[in-house]
Amino acid sequence: MSDPIMIERENPARPLEIVGAVPITSPEAVDKVVVAADTAQQEWSDVSLASRCEILTTAAVALNSERIEEIAEVLARELGKPLPDSRGEVGFAAVFLKHCIATAPQVLVEDVVDDDAGRLIFRHVPYGVVAAISPWNAPVILSMLKIAPALVAGNAVVVKPSPYAPLAITDVIVTLAAGLPAGLLQIIHGGPETGEALISHPLVRKVAFTGGNVVAKAIGAAAAKVITPTVMELGGNDAAIFLDDAVLNDAAFDRIVTASYATSGQVCMASKRIYIPRERHDEFVAGFIEACARMVRLGDPLVEGVTVGPVVTRAAQERLEKLVADSVESGGAVLDVGTVDDSAAGDGYFVRPQLVVGLADNAQLVAEEQFGPLVPVMAYDDVDEVVARANAGELGLGASVWSADEDRAFQIAARLEAGFVFINTHNRTGMSMRAPFGGVKKSGFGREYGDEGILEYVQTCVTHAPALFRAGADPEATSRASRAYPGQ
């Protein structure tokens, strides 16, 4: 047998350094993986929910603080995500797994109705093998959002992460899988060819995808060919709307700055365009720049004090440089923000965090998802206008409304076309494990987090015994009902 072709992942802060490598899974090998997953799943779905929770709890012990620390360092080096954020992501994945284990027994409870009309049993039946296809920007948590609910619900999971961040998630899966039945949780590697072999496999019963809208179309088409359902978490172009009474203190600026630049702005639910009342525009820009001076430091993700690392690839860096040039051509004033550490001096894929003012909504930086550390701030004159501007476009992932009056903020939030609206915050500081997250319009369908995020991995299957057809029922009524529609 020939040696597998390897995917090498470089450190985006120091591209000559190879952080690690993973073998590309050939389409033939994908078949073996899925068949093993299917075999494991059949036994796993026969295990009671309580026992599944126990087994997962024991397996999760291996994801202890020491292991989290080791994996976080790998994540920081392969992705450029600053170490505290990498630690946060891996630690949160462990917390989320425990959360799913704790909530599943209430969410997946079997409902029974037994009354004069008959007996109905509603069972939550797992799909079978779930294909989890995740992006590079938060490879550990975005995979765990699929792994944890799918496993607890009785499915097997095959993860295919992005070739741009395959290492930390491999470590997480190897760590967890050691405590699970063989084949139940597996990882494969590669690009579109491997991904499509997985999606098209006849034993894959559900595809869970997080990524961009272009790839979503290819995945949707491949899944449709084999009539496999999908859940899709796609891109966003989140508007952050500050109302005239918004509290603009240091803590508020700290939150909006984190929401904009964490992971170098490469977050689906980052605040990607900021709207501020015209009369408070200059005050906002000054406060934002001041907060960046405190909080934004560009550099090597392993250097203490660095809060913004490089972007993922040279191609991403070049795309963002063009976006800056386009913003200038479109009449925007581009302002550098934050500070730069010496470690950002080399040939890493660093992009200077910037704020852009004076752009119209049709400028590329405002109209499209930038996925980088560039944030446009626009003035508005009235609330109806800003709601219309926030709702323009095809994406509807997140949004935020900032106001001292929470009720007023909720009223405006209800008018926004977004799957999740944050009040007085945005991005990760506003997430809740009990709240379903996902997009409207072209930002996707299906949900992660919350009870819905678990129910995404089961189908409701029903057993029904109508009372009318029970032995001993009134023969005349039975005879009439034998030909009628229910309830008539």
Active-site residue (options: 10, 73, 78, 448): 448
**CB nearer to ligand NAD: pick between 89 and 196:** 196
| In the complex, least distance from residue 270 CB atom to ligand NAD, rounded to whole angstroms | 9
Instruction: Give CA–CA dist 402/248, Å, rounded.
Output: 9
For residue 43, indicate whether it is catalytic: no
| In the complex, least distance from residue 293 CB atom to ligand NAD, rounded to whole angstroms | 28
**CB nearer to ligand NAD: pick between 214 and 462:** 214
SS3 389: helix
**What's the sign of the alpha-carbon dihedral 433, 439, 444, 446?**
positive
Q: Residue 373 pairs with which residues in a beta bridge?
A: none
Active-site residue (options: 10, 100, 196, 268): 268
SS3 355: strand
SS3 185: strand
Give the Cβ contact number of residue 188 at 10 Å: 23
| In the complex, least distance from residue 451 CB atom to ligand NAD, rounded to whole angstroms | 18
Instruction: Give CA–CA dist 362/141, Å, rounded.
Output: 33
Name the residue type at position 44. W
| In the complex, least distance from residue 192 CB atom to ligand NAD, rounded to whole angstroms | 3
For residue 233, indicate whether it is catalytic: yes
Q: What angle do CA 204, 206, 212 make, to 5 degrees?
A: 115
**CB nearer to ligand NAD: pick between 124 and 189:** 189
- Taking alpha carbons only, the member of 133, 136, 187, 201 closest to residue 163 is 136
**DSSP character at residue 308:** B
Active-site residue (options: 81, 89, 146, 417): 146
For residue 32, indicate whether it is catalytic: no
| In the complex, least distance from residue 8 CB atom to ligand NAD, rounded to whole angstroms | 15
Q: Residue 250 pairs with which residues in a beta bridge?
A: none
For residue 461, indicate whether it is catalytic: no
Active-site residue (options: 10, 233, 417, 456): 233
Q: How many residues does the chain have?
A: 488
Residue ranges binding ligand NAD (CB under 6 A):
133-137, 142, 160-163, 191-192, 195-196, 199, 210-212, 215, 218-219, 233-236, 268, 369, 371, 397, 439, 444
**CB nearer to ligand NAD: pick between 253 and 420:** 420
Yes or no: say if 311 and 305 are a contact pair by the CB < 8 Å rule: no
**CB nearer to ligand NAD: pick between 162 and 271:** 162
| In the complex, least distance from residue 20 CB atom to ligand NAD, rounded to whole angstroms | 17
**CB nearer to ligand NAD: pick between 59 and 197:** 197
C-beta nearest to ligand NAD: residue: 195
**What's the sign of the alpha-carbon dihedral 229, 231, 237, 240?**
positive
Q: Catalytic positions, please?
A: 146, 233, 268, 448
